[in-house]
Amino acid sequence: MEPAETYFVYIVRCADSTLYTGSTNNLESRLNKHNLGQGAKYTRGRRPVSLVYCETVSSVSEALKREMEIKRMSRSAKLALVESWGGRE
């Protein structure tokens, strides 16, 4: 049996101070793509982006579900989540 793949749900702060939430199975690559203008359309004109929140989940379905939960949060709730993370994995 192959080991389970890890998925990440993340929030980046864009250059204009807006927040973008996404999910991926390769966080470093995805952040690089955002900063190269090859990531999400939303972040292309708002570079550079910096990681301000990340959590790990065990499946793509969990990642997508959690991503949608975060996207539905108010900005203040997202900022509270970011503050609670404090840059740790």
pLDDT per residue as tens digits for the range 31-86: 999 999 998 999 999 999 999 999 999 999 999 999 999 999 999 999 999 999 97
* 3-class secondary structure per residue, 11-49: EEECCCCCEEEEEECCHHHHHHHHHHCCCCHHHHCCCCC
The pLDDT confidence band at residue 87, using thresholds 50, 70 and 90, is low
Local confidence band at 3 (pLDDT 50, 70, 90 cut-offs): low
pLDDT of 1 over the 90 cut: no
Q: Can you list the domains of the chain with their CATH numbers? A: 7-85 (3.40.1440.10)
The predicted pLDDT at position 5 comes to 86
